[in-house]
Amino acid sequence: MDRMTELNKKLLSTSVTGWRIAVSTAALFILCSGSVAAFGYICFTMPKLQCHTSFFYLSVFWLSAEYVVIGYLYFYKNIPKFAREAIVLSIVIANFWLILFVFGLNECTV
């Protein structure tokens, strides 16, 4: 029973050090910006993929939504540990799927 109480305290803890928040925020910004920037680079430098630029413009709006969520994680310290880690994991998985989507694009036939 003591282990469950201890686990509950850890998961609901809102104490996070400032340097950890800053490092994780910077890493998420680099990850998100890098994946969308790579997508833009591929769309605009490869002539056979320029028909997919509308997906790039949608990913820019998606990136701005991720920036809002990352900013929320940075400025608000009252988020429990389990929620903070779940949000970070969701952002990482979403960027992974974006990269898989980019690699799955076919050449334009027009």
Question: Would you list the DSSP string of 4-73?
Answer: HHHHHHHHT-----HHHHHHHHHHHHHHHHHHHHHHHHHHHH-GGGGGGHHHHHHHHHHHHHHHHHHHHH
Is the per-residue pLDDT at 14 higher than 80? no
Compute the distance between CA of residue 38 and CA of residue 97 in angstroms, rounded to an integer: 14
pLDDT in tens, 16-29: 777 888 888 899 99
Query: Is the separation of the CB atoms in 27 and 88 below 8 Å?
Result: no
Q: How many Å separate Cα 46 from the centre of its chain?
A: 25
Report the predicted TM-score, pTM, of the whole model to 2 decimal places. 0.79
* Residue 81, pLDDT score: 79
* Residue 36, pLDDT score: 93
* Residue 44, pLDDT score: 87
SS3 109: coil
Q: What is the pLDDT confidence band of residue 102, given thresholds at 50, 70 and 90?
A: confident
Q: What is the mean pLDDT of the chain?
A: 85
pLDDT in tens, 36-75: 999 999 888 888 888 888 889 999 999 999 999 998 888 8
